[in-house]
Amino acid sequence: MRVLGIETSCDETGIAIYDDQSGLLSHQLYSQIKLHADYGGVVPELASRDHIRKVIPLIKQAMAESHSSVDDIDAVVYTAGPGLVGALLVGATTGRALAMAWNKPAVAVHHMEGHLLAPMLEEHAPEFPFLALLVSGGHTLIVRVESIGRYQIMGESIDDAAGEAFDKTAKLMGLDYPGGPRLSKLAEQGIAGRFIFPKPMTDRPGLDMSFSGLKTFAANTIAAHGTDAQTQADIALAFEQAVVDTLIIKCRRALDETGFKRLVIAGGVSANQRLRRDLGQLMKSRGGEVFYPRTEFCTDNGAMIAFAGMQRFKAGVRQPLSIGATPRWPLDQLPAID
């Protein structure tokens, strides 16, 4: 079976063709970074309009690259939430309209389930059950995963997501959008130990997290110590280390609680090299293993949506003719695939 996957939840237009026998046949991605750079962040209306311009040309490219005709496509799957409602509606409308025109089934996909399952696109994929750390610009979740759809959210950020905190702190430092990756790059030049940032909510039990206070601590540190190049690098390193250490502490607690030996990290922040290294060391020390998608599948993409949609489609999930989007959609409300 073969599906067309459409991702338009925020500021990337992702299209993919996935075959359950041959794997990923085509992966097209257009990023709106240049469009939003002048504003220092995503402008929802501009994002929606750009998705409208790009989604059909990218679908045509994916169909051509995969040598797929309409007859080859068994279903159209698309991100229905969570995300920016206008952007989501572009993908939902396009996906549902194509499904209707082609007389194919349509499947609505949960964006975070796409991220959670993205490591399964790799040759060395995790087996169930496992613990998942989902870290992106909009979400930070620790999830117990028993099977597809059997999710228990064990901990989450009560304010800013980790990726959001990275971007906001980078903006305070005057770094260009998108700030998170630039802050991490700057941190490579930092001197360890010059600044020590707090690790919020690690001195109390539980798995919930908080990152907004780190932004305030960074702002105060910048105001007190200036913004010369080395100081900026030192602050970036201290900030990054505090976020990574917090995530490590929370994952260790969750692993203790579940007893799992497999850890999945996914989402945009999972591309952070310090996070990957430290989580890898943590799992090695416990006799376990860490899994993550290749870098191009860490950020939003159509491949993860196509894969997740395929699993739902094969389980018999179908969407009605109505078109809708769900900007807020808790991951643990998804039905299980038995």
Task: Check whether 180 is labelled as a binding-site residue.
Answer: yes
Q: How far is it, in rounded angstroms, from Cα 119 to Cα 331?
A: 17
Q: How far is it, in rounded angstroms, from Cα 39 to Cα 143?
A: 33
Task: Check whether 288 is labelled as a binding-site residue.
Answer: no
Residue 283 has pLDDT above 90, yes or no: yes
Mean predicted confidence (pLDDT) in 11-15? 97
Instruction: Give the per-residue pLDDT at 226.
Output: 75
Instruction: Give the per-residue pLDDT at 156.
Output: 97
Q: Read out DSSP for 243-275?
A: HHHHHHHHHHHHHHHH--SEEEEESGGGG-HHH
Q: How far is it, in rounded angstroms, from Cα 60 to Cα 73?
A: 13
Mean pLDDT of all residues in the chain?
Answer: 96
Task: Check whether 160 is labelled as a binding-site residue.
Answer: no
Instruction: Give the per-residue pLDDT at 258.
Output: 98
Task: Check whether 301 is labelled as a binding-site residue.
Answer: no
Strand order, beta sheet including 75-81: 23-31, 12-19, 2-7, 75-81, 106-110
pLDDT band per the 50, 70, 90 thresholds, residue 137:
confident
Task: Check whether 40 is labelled as a binding-site residue.
Answer: no
Task: Check whether 167 is labelled as a binding-site residue.
Answer: yes
Residue 70 has pLDDT above 80, yes or no: yes
Q: Judging by beta carbons within 10 Å of its beta carbon (0-12, 13-18, 19+), is residue 31 exposed, middle or buried?
A: middle
Q: Per-residue pLDDT tens for 74-131? A: 999 999 999 999 999 999 999 999 999 999 999 999 999 999 999 999 999 999 999 9
Task: Check whether 111 is labelled as a binding-site residue.
Answer: yes
Instruction: Give the per-residue pLDDT at 338.
Output: 74
CA atoms within 13 A on the CB side of 103: 1
Task: Check whether 91 is labelled as a binding-site residue.
Answer: no
Q: What type of residue is 174?
A: G
Mean predicted confidence (pLDDT) in 259-282? 96
Q: What is the number of helices (H) and of strands (E) in the chain?
A: 10, 10
Q: What type of residue is 254?
A: A
Q: Rounded to an integer, what is the distance from CA 257 to the centroid of its chain?
A: 24
Task: Check whether 136 is labelled as a binding-site residue.
Answer: yes
Q: Per-residue pLDDT tens for 203-240? A: 989 999 999 999 999 999 999 997 799 999 999 999 99
Token digits of residue 130: 């496992």
Task: Check whether 27 is labelled as a binding-site residue.
Answer: no
Residue 190 has pLDDT above 80, yes or no: yes
Q: Per-residue pLDDT tens for 18-38? A: 999 999 999 999 999 999 998
* Cross-strand partners of 262: 289
Residue 297 has pLDDT above 80, yes or no: yes
Instruction: Give the per-residue pLDDT at 72.
Output: 98
Query: CA distances (Å), 29 to each of 44, 51, 168, in order?
Result: 18, 11, 25
What percent of the chain has a predicted confidence (pLDDT) above 70? 100
Long-range Cβ contacts of 118-121 (<8 Å, 24+ apart): 118/266, 118/293, 118/297, 118/298, 118/301, 118/303, 118/304, 118/307, 119/264, 119/266, 119/291, 119/292, 119/293, 120/307, 121/23, 121/24, 121/293, 121/294, 121/297, 121/303, 121/304, 121/307
